Amino acid sequence: MINHDDHPLRPDFEEQDHRENELRPRLLEDFLGQEQIKANLRVFIQAARERQESLDHVFLSGPPGLGKTTLASIMAHEMGADLRVTAAPALEKPKDLAGILTSLQEGTVFFIDEIHRLKSSLEEMLYVAMEDYEIDWIIGQGPSARTLRVPLPRFTLVGATTRPGMVASPLYTRFGIPLRLDYYTRDELAAIIRRTSSILEIAIQEEAVLLLAETCRGTPRVANRLVRRMRDFAQILGEGVITGAVVREGMERLNIDQYGLEEQDRQILRAIVEMYQGGPVGAETLAISVGEELDSLEVFYEPFLIQQGLLQRTARGRVATARAYAVLGLPQEDPGEDQRSLF
């Protein structure tokens, strides 16, 4: 089984790089991809600035690594406002959220990541804060307790989630600008790879750019990490230039194939095919079989496998497709009447 601690594309893998922030664009015009989202945001931001108002609350959803945090920072920069960043799991009690809200400045962009994990008591506090720019605070205890309404400056709440279906409807409907980010095309990723290489001051050949664009899971975050790893291989094993040969050698060492599948992707597919005869198999059972957290399976691995046509979700569980058998180099047996009825 693969050693997750050493895996370069693990969702919770944290890498320290002193030039990481330089890879994040600060302006909409520098943000590559997501053209329709950028076009609409450009209108909303310009209109808010002309009216000298704060931007309406924004809801960002989509798979991890597509640029939700980056877009929040761009909104703050374009609006000339401060940016406050937190994650929902870090907000445990109402006083945690109240402390942040009461310290915001006029127009501040307040970014909450993983907003689907926000506790219900905090959601209720946000309802009033988002609509009326006030919060209700209880002073005292027992019969002498009283409610004090505290005014807030007008701010922009940007909520981000990889699981929009888990966000409570009353909270979701209070966002005026819902935006969903989609996976990037090969051409968009190639442009991101060229930009990253330029910022990192590493020479890269066009063949290498196209090879990387095919194998970075449609995700800019993965593209940037792979460029940094190829930079290492080029420095130590090559002549300081990322060539096609360097990329092929690096991908082989990282256990990433030409489809962008890493070892854990292949292990998931092999488990479905070899242990459960191609499926269907439930998500929890599959997660246990491959030694993976259920959340990582559903948020990080499955969306890419489904997008690549290797996996299907059915009412009875996950099923490997004919393409999955071909990619694994395994013969596909007749699934039988019960499994054919799933499609």
Known catalytic residues? Answer: 68-69, 113, 162, 221
Cβ count within 10 A of residue 269: 26
Strand, helix or coil for residue 297? helix
Give the side-chain half-sphere CA count within 13 A for 165.
Answer: 3
Provide the phi-psi class of 47: left if phi over 0, else alpha when psi is between -120 and 50, else beta.
Answer: alpha
Interacting residues of 9 by C-beta distance below 8 A, sequence separation 6+: 217, 222, 225, 256, 262
163: exposed, middle or buried (Cβ count in 10 Å: 0-12, 13-18, 19+): middle
CA distances from 1 to 108, 253, 275 (A): 46, 16, 15
Residue 75 one-letter amino acid: M
